[in-house]
């Protein structure tokens, strides 16, 4: 492969075009080993050189969740280390709502990741902030382990519903209880911590909170307020914490619509990894095209750092 | 009240306009007792005189469901008797999917209703017919008690999903199982036995199958095929059995969109009863306006029979 920085993604990591960003990266050539590589044009080269920060999705990028907390994705522990050792700012933006932020970070540290609580942005603290601002008292349909995030919130006589990835708590009984609160309100208010369709655990794909959000939206003829990716305000909170402009930041995730599409809506570049919930059909999605598709986080970090330090 | 047939709905049963049907029935006057009554114009009078058949929704019109099978709505047992004794044809069209047709009818007979199995049209036999026509093998997400309707259907190696009002079977585990079948198919096929939002049981409102249909539609980016009300083909099956044209038939239900709106889409008249899942806001619905709103089935039957036999 050439070392001049033009062909910076190794074979099987195809960087493709984002028509909305106005540059084309589809000129595929073959290097002397016959492997498929993709030539980047000057604009792309420039955007990698000017990047000042990276935001990583967590589940499906760092690890696959499942029984016992999950397992790291090969190369991801090392990839996070390399990003931390670089001159790039690093944050983690997750729709994880099955644990408090502290317990979630502790789990990742046990897997070998070097992550601080202050670097991680999940929806629960954000929704608590919104509830307090608007004097709302939630009925919670969430995972038991995230309930402590709402300890300081008045939950008596609820006037809104908050749902998260409640997993087994999404029983018919609990769904009816949330529905009855909503349908009893003059103007139902429903907060959804994310709007994902499904995610991958070690034992297979599982339904995510967005599916139950849609269910309650239909039941009550209401539109949920999404707190979490892909809500622009949620990404903006992370950008504010980094002190960076959107065009200076790459988002890397396994969810094409919520990670990549959401970040692009905010003006960031979005890369999709082919791990976690990635499916090959994502690369032919009718409305969202990633700025790049890479095999995994290690390959993405290779591509970015290699280009920055030729 | 005048006895000439013009004012045929007693106080508190307001017949209102259906703009799509082209006649106006909103001229409210007061009779000598001071009660609100609604004057019908000639076109409405004519449509009541020319009616040859009535289709009744069941839950929320005949009875309120709940523990122990539910309780009859006051006056409904007698109202069914009066319709049967009249010159009108009578059928029952239900989205009930919590029992086989035989067990369901037996329950209603125990409540005092005189109903034969052949007069009742639920979705399960209809969906079984579609599955056989199209050589489809279903994964079932339904109530345990309706499973015997699918006894003659090959359920091995499923290539579609059928959902009904599964109630407590709508667990997270069962939803994931149905989702995994769908997402594993090249072209997911989802049948929903009805698309209702919720219904009323004696202990409160409960989520109906439509809510879970929406959930799976969103999860798999698929549109469900609805078998049951308000699908036109489902109503047409009942009309065929009666040997009547749509304009000769009244549909009476508590569900504005699925009973009334569905029947109107087929060319029938639709009356909404103020029992079951009825809510006052139904009378201000943005897209569906019933041909009449009546307090209950007894009042509807009063109105129809009184006018036919002055």
The string of pLDDT tens digits covering residues A149-170 is: 999 999 999 999 999 999 999 9
Q: Which pLDDT belongs to residue B309?
A: 53
- The β-bridge relationship of strands B198-201 and B204-207 is antiparallel
Nearest by Cα to A246 from A53, A73, A92: A53
Residues of chain B with pLDDT under 70: 1-44, 309-310
Q: C-alpha distances in angstroms, A25 versus A9, A36, A53?
A: 11, 13, 22
Q: Residue B258 phi/psi, 5° resolution? A: -85, -35
Mutation target for A interface from B186, B202, B218: give the one with most A CBs within 10 A.
B218
Residue A289 makes CB contacts below 8 A (sequence gap 6+) with: A16, A17, A18, A19, A20
Contact in structure between A1 and A308 (CB atoms under 8 Å): no
Architecture of domain B46-95+229-308: 3-Layer(aba) Sandwich (3.40)
Classify domain A124-226 by CATH architecture: 3-Layer(aba) Sandwich (3.40)
Question: How many angstroms away from the CA of B84 is the closest CA of chain A?
Answer: 35
pLDDT reported for residue A243: 97
* The pLDDT value given to residue B21: 32
Interface test with B, best of A176, A277, A279 (most B CBs within 10 A): A176
3-state secondary structure A65-106: ECHHHCEECCCHHHHHHHHHHCCCEEEEECCCCCCCHHHHHH
Q: Tell me if B139 sits within 8 A of B155, measured CB to CB.
A: yes
- A176: which chain B residues are within 8 Å (Cβ-Cβ)? 204-207
What pTM was computed for the model? 0.78
In this complex, is the C-beta atom of A23 within 8 Å of any C-beta atom belonging to chain B? no
B-chain CB neighbours of A204 within 8 Å are 176, 180
Domains A46-95+229-308 and A124-226 share a fold: yes
Q: How many helices (H) and strands (E) does chain B have?
A: 9, 16
Give mean pLDDT, residues A210-237: 96
Interface membership of B222 toward A (CB under 8 Å)? no
Contact call for residues B18 and B247 (beta carbons, < 8 A): no
Task: Tell whether A219 is within 8 A of chain B (Cβ).
Answer: yes
Task: Give residue limits of the domains in chain A.
Answer: 46-95+229-308, 124-226
Decide if B186 touches A, using CB distance below 8 A. Answer: no
Chain B nearest-CA distance from A71, in A, is: 21
DSSP assigned state of A258:
I
Q: Which residue has the tokens 């056989």?
A: B132
Distances (CA, A) of A295 to A45, A65, A112, A252: 20, 18, 21, 12
Q: If DSSP codes are grouped into helix, strand and coil, which group holds residue B275?
A: coil
What is the maximum span of chain A, computed from C-alpha positions, in angstroms?
69
Q: Is B66 exposed, middle or buried (0-12, 13-18, 19+ CB in 10 A)?
A: middle
Kindly state the DSSP code that residue B261 receives in the 8-state scheme.
Answer: I
**What is the ipTM, given to two decimal places?**
0.78
pLDDT, position B308: 73
B260 vs B249: CA distance, rounded Å: 12
């Amino acid at each position: 492969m050439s070392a001049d920085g033009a062909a910076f993604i190794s074979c099987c990591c195809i960087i493709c075009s984002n028509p909305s960003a106005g540059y084309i990266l589809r000129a595929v050539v073959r290097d002397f080993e016959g492997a498929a590589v993709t030539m980047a044009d000057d604009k792309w080269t420039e955007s990698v050189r000017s990047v000042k920060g990276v935001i990583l999705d967590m589940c499906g990028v760092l690890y696959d969740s499942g029984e016992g907390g999950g397992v790291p994705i090969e190369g991801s522990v090392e990839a996070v280390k390399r990003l931390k050792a670089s001159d790039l700012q690093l944050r983690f933006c997750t729709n994880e709502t099955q644990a408090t932020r502290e317990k979630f970070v502790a789990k990742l540290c046990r897997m070998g990741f070097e992550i601080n609580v202050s670097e991680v942005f999940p929806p629960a603290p954000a929704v608590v902030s919104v509830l307090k601002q608007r004097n709302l008292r939630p009925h919670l349909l969430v995972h038991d382990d995230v309930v402590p995030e709402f300890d300081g919130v008045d939950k008596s006589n609820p006037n809104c519903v908050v749902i998260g990835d409640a997993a087994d708590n999404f029983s018919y009984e609990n769904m009816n209880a949330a529905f009855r609160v909503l349908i009893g309100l003059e103007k139902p208010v429903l907060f959804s911590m994310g709007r994902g369709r499904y995610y991958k655990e070690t034992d297979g794909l599982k339904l995510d909170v967005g599916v139950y959000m849609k269910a309650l939206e239909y039941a009550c003829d209401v539109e949920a307020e999404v707190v979490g990716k892909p809500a622009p305000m949620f990404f903006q909170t992370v950008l504010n914490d980094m002190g960076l402009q959107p065009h200076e930041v790459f988002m890397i995730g396994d969810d094409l619509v919520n990670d990549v599409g959401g970040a692009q809506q905010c003006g960031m570049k979005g890369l999709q990894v082919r791990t976690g919930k990635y499916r090959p059909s994502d690369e032919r999605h009718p409305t969202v095209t990633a700025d790049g598709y890479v095999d995994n986080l290690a390959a993405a970090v290779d591509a970015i750092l290699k280009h920055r330090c030729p």
